[in-house]
């Protein structure tokens, strides 16, 4: 029967014109759900003391900014190492 074939293809994710959801879409949805849960669980305000300023911010904002600054610092270090390795090992003699 045609109906049985359609049901089995649907169960295997091979039915329809798009043949199911693409993996990247599933990943985006999963990250979105986890992000919303993260924000909902970290809504309390915390006091942040940093060098010359004191501020109150939500916990998730502090964590997100810390992660972004860490990623930025990692990229700067990676580029510095790449630049250093690309430079000659010793300077040529100016004679």
pLDDT tens digits along 49-89: 888 889 999 999 998 899 899 999 999 999 999 888 885 55
Least confident of 1-10, 18-27, 31-40, 82-91: 1-10
Q: Where residue 93 falls among pLDDT bands split at 50, 70, 90?
A: low
pLDDT of residue 18: 61
Query: How far apart are the C-alpha atoms of 58 and 40, rounded to whole Å?
Result: 11
Q: Take residue 71 and report the two structure tokens written for it.
A: 């990623």
pLDDT of residue 90: 56
Residues 6/16, Cβ–Cβ less than 8 Å:
no
- For the full predicted model, state whether its pTM sits above 0.85: no
Instruction: Tell whether the model's pLDDT for residue 21 goes beyond 70.
Output: yes
Break the chain into its structural domains and give their ranges. 19-86
Residue 62: how many other CB atoms lie within 10 Å: 17
pLDDT of residue 86: 80
pLDDT of residue 95: 63
Write the burial class of residue 19 (CB in 10 Å: 0-12 exposed, 13-18 middle, 19+ buried). exposed
């Amino acid at each position: 029967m045609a109906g049985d074939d359609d049901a089995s293809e649907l169960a295997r994710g091979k039915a329809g014109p798009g043949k199911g959801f693409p993996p990247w879409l599933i990943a985006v949805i999963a990250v979105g759900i986890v992000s919303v849960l993260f924000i909902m669980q970290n809504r309390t305000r915390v006091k942040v003391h940093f060098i010359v300023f004191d501020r109150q911010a939500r916990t998730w904002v502090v964590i997100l900014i810390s992660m972004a600054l860490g990623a930025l610092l990692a990229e700067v270090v990676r580029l510095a190492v790449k630049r250093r390795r690309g430079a000659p090992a010793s300077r040529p003699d100016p004679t």
